[in-house]
Structure 1
Amino acid sequence: MAEAATVSQRAKVIVRGIPGGVSSPRRIAGPVAVALTALLVSACSTVVPRGPSAPPPTKAPPPSTRPDVGVEAGIPRDTARNRVALLVPLSGANAGVGKSLANATQLALLDTKNEQIRVTNYDTAQGAAAAAQRAVADGAQLILGPLLADDVRVVAPIARRAGVPVLSFSNDVSVAGDGVYLMGYTPSQSIERVVDYARSKGVTNFGGLVPNALYGTRASTTFLRAVEAAGGRVVALQTYDRTPGAIGAAVTRMAKDAPFDGVLIADSAGTAATAVPLLRKTSPDMKVMGTELWNTDSGVAARPALNGAWYASVSNGLYRQYATKYRARFGAAPYRLSSLGYDAVLLTARIARDWKVGAPFPEARLRSGEGFSGIDGAFRFGRDGIAERALEVQEIRSGNTAVVSPAPASFGR
């Protein structure tokens, strides 16, 4: 079960030397009551002038020795389970997705009935470095998260010094490696997959629209390489700022190279839906292609402009079952990215079968190459620490999506 991070601020009192904990009041009060009675009788007695002298007052027995009480800072130690830390934003602007990830890990623990690992939540919105330091101090042997690449950069050196691997939910490949593994969906794999599929369907002359941002820079590099590797040609590639009218201006600049067989729009489904009607004025028969970003938009199929478009992503088959179970337990729909938290726990639970309690996390198992399976399908970590995923290609058809190229059942060697 997941614990709130505030538990780490309460002290744990450990009683040593007394079986069953602190002695009951009766066991302590008995000798003390006798002592008090003797003292009171002695204090109230008077001297008798005749007869033998009164006996000297009985000395009270020494007070009962209190048990040696040690106070241990942090959360209670668990000698039966390995401790795993979940570092996600639980407050602030990204609290929604962070809490959804936390709920997903809890659901995975319940579904697997795992009793070998214990997941504790830490809020990165209050400071990723502080969260990582608390997690390490509390005995975490594996970190799930953080969500944001900037937080990964802060957490990684802290975890590395402690010998704790990091399974991040980021998709920024620049933070991977040296003990950091990325669970996030990377745009490069999605673009390569959809370009290969488009080429197999006869698309030869490609155009591209990418935003002026880090995502767009990496997407354009991957796009150029993927088209070349597939035997096609990129006849136009335009960038744009995310400002009103900017994408329309980019489409206008592309017009001189029209028509295109297919155009990749490496942005959200909403932005793509704005650009497509403008593109069709010069290339009415073109195929529209998107990236993994479209799979995080629950309303992607409801955009008429995208009818017939292709995009590559992880499979949604098992995700739909998971979303139903999540909604029944937590009373709300999950964020699409929350499946990363669920799959991270499935992976950990699988490795935990051979993970001795108290021992370091067997990091080599992550790089074994055999791969793992979860809600989002099969995946495995490469030497660079990036999750290679088996992706399917979906087509938008009149308000729904249909799989036109299933994800491969296994990875090629």
Structure 2
Amino acid sequence: MSEISLHGGDPSVLRRLNAAATLRALRGGGEPTLSELARLVGLSRPTTEGVIGELTGRGLVAEVAPRSGSGLGRPARRYRFRAEAGYALGLDIDAHSVQIFLADLNGQVIGSHRAGLDVGWEPPERLAAVRAAIKTCLSATGIDRSALWAVAAGTPGVVTAEGTVAFCTVVPGWQGLNLGRELGRSFACPVYVENDANLATMAERWRGVAEDTDDVICVLAGLHTGVGAVIGGRLHRGRWGAAGEIGMLPELGLRDTTAALTGVPTGSVRGAEDAAAEAVLTAAQHDDPEAVALVERLAARMSRGIAAMALAIDPEMIVVGGALTRAGDRLIDELRRQVRPLCLSPLRIEASTLGDEAVGVGAVRLALDRIDENLFRVD
């Protein structure tokens, strides 16, 4: 970035532009000197010094202690971005559990916590348990909730831009709940809510097997199978937040996937579906003929919905994660075999490398994205 003349311009806007450029350079890592930073950003040394003073006053930049053994004379002053200036909290809330991740402004996770939830709880009981789990996580890390700059939560169902769960069949009483507002009662910072499969897709592109892949579909295979999509490097939500919800069509084979594998009815005793599914998948990993046949049948059933998404979006990669992949790659291997012949383009189908952390990690990424929008805004 070249330094801009203030003649005829708004000095406050130019200061913000210079501050944003300097902050981005420091955010990239390292501990540059003032002169190195000025060259990197393309500003004069006096301007850079003024910007550093402003960012230091805002708590975003700190001077680094002089390096030992740096030679004769006074060592050059060095600066770093203060990732500990604020924190992002990511939540994954479903029928059976809540998982929490706390990260600094560089996305480094410094604490996590998981707590069980009763599938039969109504929203007030579920929310109380979520708040208690958040308190436990913050206490364990020694971070006060006033240090949180943004909170994001992932949950099953269609979520509006305002944080209302418009449609959900997985979590009792969730449909119609303004989850963003309810969670927001506990925080002074903004709270965002997003569909779980959408967040898993963001996580896989950020730190998973689809890192830096611009066109990717993420399939969360579980009780019901959700699908999220990143197109051109951006999460695709659709007009009403329902993009990817093709599992609503029974003909596409993505509804009641756990029940289809095991025969255990959806809505059975808590955990019965997951336990039965894990038993079948584990047996299939050990080449049990009956279990292998069940997995092949489920893959054939799911392949229609997954191929429909692939044909609509033409992604570079499909990532498969969720509860039905935790016992090994047998289901993923079968999906590779049965989905690819239905598609018209070369297609990679990969197992998630984030496992059951994908939704929570994606929630952290969403919170950080919203923090960055404010951190680097110049209007």
TM-score (norm 1): 0.28
TM-score (norm 2): 0.30
Higher Rg of the two aligned structures: 1
